[in-house]
Amino acid sequence: MQENIQTKKKHPNHRKQKPNDNTPKIRVCSIGGLGEVGMNMYIVESNDEIIVMDCGILFADDDVHGVEYIIPDFTYLEENKHKIVAMFITHGHEDHIGALPLFLRKLDVKIYAAGIANNLIRFKMYEYPDIHYTLESYNENSIFAYKDFTVSFFRTNHSIPDSFGIAIKTKLGYIVNSGDFKFDLTPLGDRSDFYKMAKLGNEGVLCLLADSTNSKISTFSPSEKTIANSIKQMFKSIKGRIIIATFASNVYRVEQILESSVACGRKIAVFGHSMEKAIEAASKLKYINIPKSSFIPARELNKYQGDNVTIICTGSQGEPLAALSRIANGTHKQIQLRPNDTVIYSSKPIPGNEQFINRNINLLVKRGANVIKNSPLSDTHTTGHASVEEIKLMLSLIKPKYLMPVHGEFHMLKYHANVALEMGYKKDELFCLDCGDVLEFKENSKPKVIKQGIFTDQLYLDSNFSQISSETIRERKQLADEGIITAVFTINKKKKILAPTRIKAVGFVDTNHFENLTKDIKEKATEIFIKSLNDYKTLNINGIRSATTHALSQYIYDETERKPYIFTIINVI
């Protein structure tokens, strides 16, 4: 992994985290996970200790040019590393563990994870052999005691096994993080631990941090078992190859697909690095029990004909480099669509990805495939997140004094708060915050919100996990939105102009319009350049270039109200 760490300008309030007195206080804050679906990272802090929960990644949308991933900025934790006692992972999804390699490169903190999350983290860290880390396991009976905190756990249902809520006992009461949850009364794995949740509620929960992703959905989430039956019936009725795409981290769904394939006598071909790793991790813990003989190597796929093959792959969100996108584009090296192929989307679109998914569907249909998406007539997906009724059930069990909705865009957080209002909570008991806001509790005092009490930011990464500076992102956006104009000047060492100014534009305005502007811009550029030459007694190339670029940019904006990127070249002969 490569890093290109930029010097970061400090947030003007980044020192506010220093306590002014020794009065016992508990502070709760999000470093990521508020205002977005992803990048989850939450902290609970006393005067002397910090507990960190999760370390997730956010998959960038198409608006952030050349960026694949976004992670939280760890500056606050780096500045307070002496206070961090541990990091606890709620479950093994990328939006909760994906940023760990970058975090562990900066901070040596003991990580605790349960079951399959533990395996997924180890598989991830195999790719970074230079990073030292300490990873230990916990289960539903584990208890970790520190000076100011005692940490325990309770099982929840989600789309991946071994999902847990975290209960942090403090001097002022429990701070509970629900993790991603739903209530599935007929789950494929272990049931939610209703008893422990109710017990916490009876002991006294000060504040609940709870999943808000589906806070706009009123109906109870369908059971994974319902989807399992639907997929099996669908597989029985389909003739020809099945190509099915889902999240690799949705282990229960992957298990259903594999078991349905075996039940229907189909061989299985797996495509996508993350899918391979997820199946391997789940198989080690016996969450997936499929005979090795049911799998066929990718290179042998074309030897198998017709009805007896299932291809399970990544790309359900239209990711350009994922297997399904390459199949749709006709660029996949091993999979070419056949007339009787059926493509199944077994996932829900992440907001913002709909256009990419629809583009792939159109390409697949044009190539002759039959495409099936989740609908009332074809249940291929259920959510792993709580709907309104499940949120009400969580609040009824945990009975928190205060609620801090997390894990969601801001409108999701507000919908979550409105559910609590319907249940009798008051507005001053609900806190819809931004990343960096600190919710502070003191004994015998009302909670206080410190707006931007700690420094938070986002770090942009490319597909190689190399960091991209904010300035580079701004430049890329400017190039994409406004275009580029190149101005070329040729002089000798005595500052004499040897050739006419050359102007070239790409992506600025349409060609015909620009031809009318070219003469004026060329004349003005020459005028600006001569003035810049005369302003410097010596041949200061950098100074002349900077002055010329700035003045030319201002002129073009005044004339066109556009701000293209100006690239000034000075040839000295």
Q: Give me the active site residues, please.
A: 211, 385
407 C-beta neighbours (distance < 10 Å), count: 33
Are the CB atoms for 253 and 247 separated by under 8 Å?
Answer: yes
Are the CB atoms for 390 and 356 separated by under 8 Å?
Answer: no
Rounded distance, CA 381 to CA 228, Å?
9
Are the CB atoms for 487 and 502 separated by under 8 Å?
Answer: yes
Instruction: Give the residue ranges of DSSP H helices in 372-510.
Output: 388-398, 410-422, 470-482
H or E segment to which residue 364 belongs: helix 354-366
* CA–CA–CA angle 278, 280, 284 (5° rounding): 115
Helix (H, G, I), strand (E, B) or coil at 426: coil
* CA–CA–CA angle 444, 448, 452 (5° rounding): 155
Rounded distance, CA 346 to CA 143, Å?
37
Are the CB atoms for 6 and 467 separated by under 8 Å?
Answer: yes
Cα 195 vs. chain centroid, distance in angstroms? 32
- Listed residue (417, 416, 430) closest to 216, CA to CA: 416
Rounded distance, CA 180 to CA 117, Å?
13
> Following CA atoms 553, 554, 555, 561 in sequence, which dihedral angle do they give, to the nearest 10 degrees?
90
Rounded distance, CA 433 to CA 456, Å?
13
Rounded distance, CA 306 to CA 518, Å?
61
Rounded distance, CA 377 to CA 59, Å?
30
H or E segment to which residue 556 belongs: helix 541-560
Q: SS in 3 state form for 180-223?
A: CCECCCCCCCCCCCHHHHHHHHHHCEEEEEEECCCCCCCCCCCC
